[in-house]
Structure 1
Amino acid sequence: MTEGVPKFTFVKPPNYTALLVDIRRAGKPVVIEGQSGTGKTTTIKMALAEIFPDAVPTLLTPREPTHLPIIQAIGLNSGNKTFVVDDFHRLDKDTKESLADLAKVIAERDNRETLPKLILIGINNIGADLIKLVPDVAKRIGIHRITPGTFELISEIISLGSKKLNIEIEKPELIFKESQGDYWLTQSICRAICIRYNVDKTKNDLIMVNWENTEIKKAVVSNLYHNYDSAVKEFCRGRRFRSTNDPYYKLLRAVSEQTESNVDLNEIANARPDIRGSINNVKDHRLKVLLEQKESCSRLFYYDSDTKNFAIEDPALFFYIKNLDWEALRQRCGFREGIKDFEWDIAISFAGENRAFASFITDQLKELDISVFYDRNYEDNYLGGLWSENFLNIFQNKSRLVVVILDEHHKSKVWPTFERDCFRSRISEGEVIPVFLDKTIFPGIPTDLVSIHFNFSGDVDAQRDKIIDDVVLRIAGKLDQC
């Protein structure tokens, strides 16, 4: 069975009794954490059914819009009801803090029998997150981590299902290896095996099922294709498709190579210098905006831009991307081969007198899903370092193109002159886009170089639409061709 609570194949995790005791204890706040697919929600449903056989509490989740007001209204005056909040990590910061504060207050009271019972469910480390929000809450709540199944537990699931069908599925150790102890995937793999070998009901005589791994993995991925392919492509192509705009693709492919579906993007960036630029390109801003604007992606992927925690909460999706033909996906997405890794699409050079102009261009390019190095946005990243060394690397190596806003100020000032020296060698390669605001001539920039000429009045607001049409969209158009 691959949906709902398993009727015949549920197995209790090793810490089930400890969890049951804490859930049964009146008023004591309980946190259940663990990676996707470890059976957190199923385990809680089974425990609640055991404790409340006549009226199982409703599981509340921020995924359901009608549940949000209920969750946000939970307070000391909610009575002694039991509130089970699933997907806790998906709540906004204020609601998380409110529930954490409430948990602390309840835990400290002597008369907890009259207060609400909180059961909070989420992915890895929500217990740690709660402690950060309210540091002295740790000793007063029950924190339980549901871990992936051991080989013994997974074997028990397979055995229970096999007994019901009067079959014996061989190589349970291989199912365990492929599922990584994930209960849902174990069920899915067994289902695919049964379908492939025509086991659709209980057999009269015992049947030995000897299955082939590659064949079954392909079957599972094929079954999941229509569920996930469209959203995976949407994610990989970003908010605005360009054949060279593949950092989301590289990010997701890197996640598919991890052992867990909940990852720290800073750690991946540090561990993978070959794609570090792409990860850094999207982790601060672009990824968050992508998930905000593409509902099909936000349903499947979770990202906390503060902690840089990226998670695939659906174990089936994680299995799907782990066994995906990534080269075939790259071609379906329309990305070119051998795309060089850059931390920024654009690095912008300007004199201080034109900061408002440069800032507006930066903001508009970001709206087009284009990453821009604009000094003030990254000052904290380079504290303690030398601007000269960092700028040399950024303008020479870390940006796909350089946009330089040229006028008499850029020519006469020391720092903009240094920046021109940094990217001068790229001019002949067609990787520098000059934006002339006056007729100043610059050594090293040919007068017949195809450039943008813009008559800037000094008032960005007054020329907003013209800047977008004549400057921003032309820069974006050049990127489309790179």
Structure 2
Amino acid sequence: MTFPVEEIYRTEGVPEYTFVRPPNFNELLVDLRNPGKPMVVEGQSGTGKTTTVRKIIERLLPARNFAYLSARKAADVAKIIQLAQQGGPGAFVIDDFHRLANDIQEQLGNIVKIAAEENDPATHPKVVLIGINRVGSELIHFVPDVAKRIGIHRIQPSDEAGTLQLIERGEEKLHIEIEGKQEIFGESRGDYWVTQLLCQMICLLEDVTESANEKKTVHFDVSVIRERVRDRLHHTYNEAVTEFCRGKRFRSSNDPYFKLLREVSRQESSIVDLQMLANSAPEVKGSINNVKEKRLSVLLDSKPICGRYFYYNSDTKNFAIEDPALFYYLKHLDWEALRQECGFKHTDKDYEFDFSLSFAGENRELTKQISSQLEVMDCSVFFDELFENNYLGKAWTKTFEDIFRQRSRLVVCVLDKAHREKIWPTFERECFSPRVADEAVIPIYLDDTAFPGISQDIVGIKFTRDPDKPLEDQVTDDIVFRLLARLDDV
């Protein structure tokens, strides 16, 4: 029988001939077969979570009539919400569970808990939740006492033996022998999907488009395959990657998203905890901290093409590249070429904040307005009240010293008589005054008060409140636009 190569080494849909059972296949089978037991199936992208569940149901449990619902499909989300709110009998596989809103996850958790407690398929649903790593722990976070009542299964990437089994099943159907196939495991790192893609590309380059009439030995150079796969994927992913790296609003100095993505591409897993990543990578810690609280979520919400491929939970700080092909593409990307394509400047220092704001309490309303508008313009801003919870138990003196001296690209100081007379603003000036010589301090003059260390000939922004103009509009026109222009020149 003749088979087309795309049916054997499949890069779309569920593989028919080259499916390899994960080590915990039977454990999954037993829990899927139990009509009253809810399940969580988790793992990083490309490990075959959905494929394995589908294979078990289609081959061994066809009579159960599971409904497949995905959190990526609007029509399915409506059905998921209905299930979460009303429950009822039936069997459901809910894919991409982690992409559901937290309140829906919590409601589903409660449905799962009740179904497990009462164990009555006639009145309660059989629910299988599929998602990235830590879906189980996040569900337990929402419904703490559900852990012992559900089956939580993690599917790991394949080992070398499993990868070779996948390859050999394809060789048998295509009547070929891939010489040096052990190298494929080193390249795919056990990712089932990437293995399929590499094998398909090897066959195409060796003119194998369907089963050979006679046994054929197929040769490949892994560097050539890598380059061809990367070029093939470039057209699919380049736009999403550049849009992500350029942030919500492009500036030539606004590269923390670029640095974050480059660091994620160097990890073993496509799912990372950004807090842990920041602590383990001091050279980009500032950039990661720069975006992980708010800006990253705002970016993914504002650019649908980015939200399609990247996932972020700002509560747990879990960031994920959900498409294994994209993760492979990023691992072999020319990052210097991407930097130039995006239009970023080369910077030696990594900053956590674009601006830090120094002010006296009398000018909090004005400074808060500046902070809010800069954040809308996709700037990272240190404004004390935004970070009070982050620094609980820490000394403000040490924190302020670090922020104003070295963790901020620019310091904006709102200067008037109160700033000179108050203790904290005076301390802040002592911290940032050495940076005046580096042209990193931008004064906003509210009156004519003189300050030691800040020369009168430093160009700043003279701001006088106009009672006939809304404060928001005046801040935009007189302050924020000028700060953004200065930031572009850094």
- Assess same fold via TM > 0.5: yes
Whole-angstrom CA distance in 2 between matches of 1:248 and 1:297: 12
- Per-residue CA deviation, residues 175-232 of structure 1 (Å, 9 max, x unaligned), is 1111111110000000110111111111111111121010001111111001101110
Q: Give the distance between the partners of 2:86 and 2:254, measured in 1 at CA.
A: 52
Q: Which residue of 2 aligns with 1:60?
A: 69
Shift of 1:473: 0.9
Equivalence map 1:78-477=2 (5 Å): 78-456=87-465, 462-477=470-485
Partners in 2 of 1:218 and 1:188 — Cα distance?
13
Distance 1:207 1:391 in 2: 69
Distance 1:327 1:346 in 2: 26
Q: Please tell me whether the aligned partners of residues 177 and 217 of structure 2 are also in contact (alpha carbons under 8 angstroms).
A: yes
Q: Structure 1 unaligned segments of length 5 or more: list them.
A: none
Answer yes or no: is 1:36 the counterpart of 2:45.
yes
Measure, in 1, the Cα distance between the counterparts of 2:325 and 2:249: 27
2:6 match? none
Task: Using the TM superposition, give the Cα deviation of residue 351 of structure 1 relative to its aligned residue in structure 2, in angstroms.
Answer: 0.4
Report deviation, 1:403.
0.4
SS state at 2:152 partner: strand
What TM-score do the two structures reach when normalised by structure 1? 0.97
Task: Tell me the alpha carbon deviations over residues 447-474 of structure 1, each in whole angstroms, 9 at most, x when there is no partner.
Answer: 2221111112589x83211110110111
Amino acid at match of 1:109: E
Contact 2:264 2:270 in 1 (8 A): yes
Structure 2 Cα separation of the partners of residues 124 and 393 of structure 1: 35
Q: Is the 8 A contact 1:433 1:451 kept in 2?
A: yes
Q: How many angstroms does 1:439 deviate by?
A: 2.0
Give unpaired runs (5+ residues) of structure 2.
1-9
Distance in 1 between residues matched to 2:188 and 2:35, nearest whole Å: 36
Q: Distance in 2 between matches of 1:239 and 1:374?
A: 20
Q: Distance in 2 between matches of 1:305 and 1:77?
A: 28
Instruction: Give the 3 Å change call, closer, same or farther, for CA 223–56 of structure 1 in structure 2.
Output: farther
- Residue identity opposite 1:326 in structure 2: W
Change (3 A) 1:389 1:114: closer
Do 1:29 and 1:119's aligned partners in 2 also have CA atoms closer than 8 Å? Answer: yes
Structure 1 letter corresponding to 2:152: I
Alignment size in residue pairs: 481
Q: Distance in 2 between matches of 1:373 and 1:24?
A: 54
Shift of 1:475: 0.5
Q: Residue deviations 1:316-364, cap 9 Å, x none?
A: 0000001111111111111122342001000000000000110110010
* Equivalent AA in structure 2 for residue 45 of structure 1: R
2:84/2:104 contact within 8 Å kept = no
CA distance in 1, matches of 2:309, 2:242: 12
Q: CA deviation at 1:54?
A: 6.1
Alignment partners' CA distance in 1, 2:306 and 2:89: 38
> Sequence identity, in percent?
51
Alpha-carbon distance in 1 for matches of 2:85, 2:91: 12
Cross-structure match for 2:5: none
- Write the deviation string for residues 273-314 of structure 1: whole angstroms up to 9, x where unpaired: 111111111111111111111111000000011111101111
1:451 and 1:114 mapped to 2: Cα distance? 70
